[in-house]
Amino acid sequence: MCGIVGLFVREDTVLPVDRERMQCLLEKLAYRGPDGTDVWSANRCLLGHRRLSIIDLSSAGAQPFEISEMGLVITFNGEIYNFMEIRQALASQGYVFRSHSDTEVILYAYHHYGMDFLEHLHGMFAFCLLDQKRNIAILARDPAGEKPLYYYMDSGRLVFSSEIKTFHAFPEIDLTIDVESVKAFFALQYIPGPHTVYRHIRKLPAGHALEISLDHWQARERPFWSFENTQLAPSTPEEIDTLLSESVRYRLIADVEVGLLLSGGIDSALLASYAYKNGSKLRVFTARFEEEKLDELQYAQQVADYLGLQQIVITGGQITPEAFDKVILHGVELLGGPACIPTFLQL
């Protein structure tokens, strides 16, 4: 994962204190991206990024990514799985790429397709794209809502981030607790979006884009994906098998080694099987826990041995108050599911 943070101001210029806050925030978000960090700045805008390199490990893929001649800048968290297909289509239209990253593909896709570019992107993503020629900013989040994106907007500034605790760095932001959201959490064990635990901070809904006119300071949120507009669901086991295999194949595309968290469950066993069928000899990681109810090592070993995959066993550790503190820190929002604790312990 990567980390993205941004600030837009309506009339004044960004202040030195805003730049200091941005640098401080990116330092605190180092765990989201240990491979690089940078800030792109203009008079009324700061875009920050923490990089975890997956596609194009060179400096050519660093972010925030700018195509200056087109006036386009982006800070992006995620992966575009079909970026090679989009890249080939754009190259046939005369676009020339300077990197091998999926980030650059997003910008050229926007330039070529306009706002319809979102319908061409298949992947997990959250990003802010700035079009300086039209003086608009676009926040977008993938259809499954896999990548988080939070934002705050008032009459004078817009702040967005991958993590909700980022907003604590801005004392001018109203962080009043949303009582109704807290009630929803105790009833449902989660807070339904676009609401958050804070009354004035929103979570961009999955499959939505927020287009902000920086001239008029107006925001328009719209869906770019919905179940109603998708193709008919697969109706045969063969169709389901093909879709699952293709989905796993896309997720194996990387310039770094790909691994898999393998429990003793059906889901991860299926993923390991499809990865194997796609020719990947990926390493699998399994957590061993002293608590018998949490430990599934014997079942995971059966899967790894059957597929001939190298298995690395990690001691999950103890569930302690210190572990709870760390889970809360990295949980971003209120969490009701206990699975987040053993998942954290094995990472």
- Residue 133 predicted with pLDDT over 90: yes
* Catalytic annotation, residues: 2
Element (H, E) at 185: helix 179-188
pLDDT reported for residue 339: 72
Look up residue 203 and give its two tokens.
């979570």
Q: Is the peptide bond before 194 cis (omega within 30 degrees of 0)?
A: yes
Predicted confidence (pLDDT) per residue in 159-170, tens digit: 999 999 999 999
CATH superfamily, region 3-228: Aminohydrolase, N-terminal nucleophile (Ntn) domain (3.60.20.10)
What are phi and psi for residue 106, nearest 5 degrees?
-60, -45
Those residues whose C-beta lies under 8 Å from the C-beta of residue 31, and which sit 6 or more positions away, are 330
More confident residue, 295 or 7: 7
Confidence of residue 234 (pLDDT cuts 50, 70, 90): confident
CA distance 333 to 167: 13
pLDDT reported for residue 136: 97
The fraction of the chain above a pLDDT of 70, given in percent, is 95
Measured from the Cβ of residue 106, the count of other Cβ atoms closer than 10 Å reads 27
DSSP secondary structure letters along 105-134: HHHHHHHHHGGGGGGG--EEEEEEEEETTT
Where do the structural domains in the chain lie, given as residue ranges? 3-228, 237-316
**CA dist list (Å): 147 to 77, 116, 191, 206:** 7, 20, 16, 9
pLDDT reported for residue 135: 96
More confident residue, 110 or 313: 110
Predicted confidence (pLDDT) per residue in 188-225, tens digit: 988 998 999 999 999 999 999 999 999 999 999 999 98
- Residue 95 predicted with pLDDT over 80: yes
CATH architecture of 237-316: 3-Layer(aba) Sandwich (3.40)
Confidence of residue 292 (pLDDT cuts 50, 70, 90): low
Going by their DSSP bridges, the two strands 36-42 and 72-80 should be labelled as: unpaired
Confidence of residue 145 (pLDDT cuts 50, 70, 90): very high
Among 64, 65, 77, residue whose Cα is nearest residue 33 = 77
More confident residue, 206 or 288: 206
Is it true that 3-228 and 237-316 share their CATH fold? no
- Residue 324 predicted with pLDDT over 80: no
Give the residue-averaged pLDDT of 60-89.
97
pLDDT reported for residue 326: 80
pLDDT reported for residue 263: 86
Among 333, 39, 9, 47, residue whose Cα is nearest residue 163 = 333
Give the residue-averaged pLDDT of 32-61.
95
